[in-house]
Amino acid sequence: MALAYDSATAPPAAASTEADQKLADQVRTALGGTAEANAEAAKSIQVAASSGTITLKGSVKTEEEKTRIETAAKAVPGVSKVENQLEVKAE
């Protein structure tokens, strides 16, 4: 027995999840392409995407680094909002 969905009752398509994953990947790429120090920090940052909103988690060494990473994420096409949850932890 096949199930039929119309557009009003269909569950969110995997396409939105795929789009979120692609956007998160684009942000990771952008973060890795920033200044060398940021590129190193970007490796330890978690990036999640949901409907154009990017959430950044992890730790950075300075407030300036936190701001630069947020700015780089905001510059990625398709990003509508950045939830910057990065923590500044001086070593």
Q: What is the pLDDT of residue 15?
A: 57
Q: What is the pLDDT of residue 3?
A: 43
Q: What is the pLDDT of residues 5-60, one digit of tens each?
A: 344 444 554 556 899 999 999 999 998 875 555 556 667 899 999 999 999 999 99
pLDDT at 2 over 50: no
CA distances from 28 to 3, 49, 64 (A): 38, 11, 18
CA distances from 15 to 33, 35, 90 (A): 27, 33, 40
74: its two tokens: 């905001």
Extended strands (E) in the chain: 46-50, 53-60, 81-88
Q: What is the pLDDT of residue 36?
A: 58
What mean pLDDT do residues 72-88 have? 96
